[in-house]
Amino acid sequence: MKSLKLLSLLFVLVATLGITGCASLEAPNTESLLSAAGFKTKTPTTPRQIAFYNSLSVFELQRHVIKGHTVYTYADKKNVVIYFGDEKAYQRYKALALKQQIAEDQVSAAEMNEEASMDWGSWGPWGTFWD
């Protein structure tokens, strides 16, 4: 019984760490995709640029129309950088993000298929002799 409680506690701990780890990894991944899609980076230096930078949401891709042109921005407030790109760069970003999501889904499905093919049943890999 103690081992079951310990196993449950360990599972909850690992799941919690996994969820928080995924959240912290998401921003650098987005930045890599933005760069690969052709977004440029700029560090705000003038008071006007700093005011614009401060008005942006953290780690959120936003659409703006500036002087009649559509511009997409992403504020990386950890590194004090703005990623900016046009419509073409945004479309490339969406395509890359979709390709990455499909690849992640395929890996996840392959892992589930592998686990299912082991047919361990309810007792796990050790069988009933382990108790």
Query: What is the pLDDT confidence band of residue 114, given thresholds at 50, 70 and 90?
Result: low
Residue with tokens 């999501």: 101
Q: With 0-12 CB in 10 A as exposed, 13-18 as middle and 19+ as buried, what is 130?
A: exposed
| Residue 3: per-residue pLDDT | 46
Query: Which is higher by pLDDT, 16 or 122?
Result: 122
Domain extent for 78: 24-114
Q: Which of 96, 74, 72, 75 is nearest to 86 (CA)?
A: 72
**7 occurs within a structural domain:** no
Identify the H or E element spanning 71.
Answer: strand 69-76
**84 occurs within a structural domain:** yes
pTM for the complete prediction?
0.61
**9 occurs within a structural domain:** no
Taking 60 as the threshold, does the pLDDT of residue 7 lie above it? no
**122 occurs within a structural domain:** no
54-100 pLDDT, tens per residue?
999 888 999 999 899 999 999 998 999 999 999 999 999 999 999 88
Taking 50 as the threshold, does the pLDDT of residue 40 lie above it? yes
**11 occurs within a structural domain:** no
**12 occurs within a structural domain:** no
Residue with tokens 């504020």: 75
The domain total for the chain is 1
**41 occurs within a structural domain:** yes
- Spell out the residues 6+ positions from residue 73 whose beta carbon is closer than 8 angstroms to its own: 56, 61, 62, 64, 82, 83, 84
Q: Which of 92, 98, 95, 82 is nearest to 44 (CA)?
A: 82
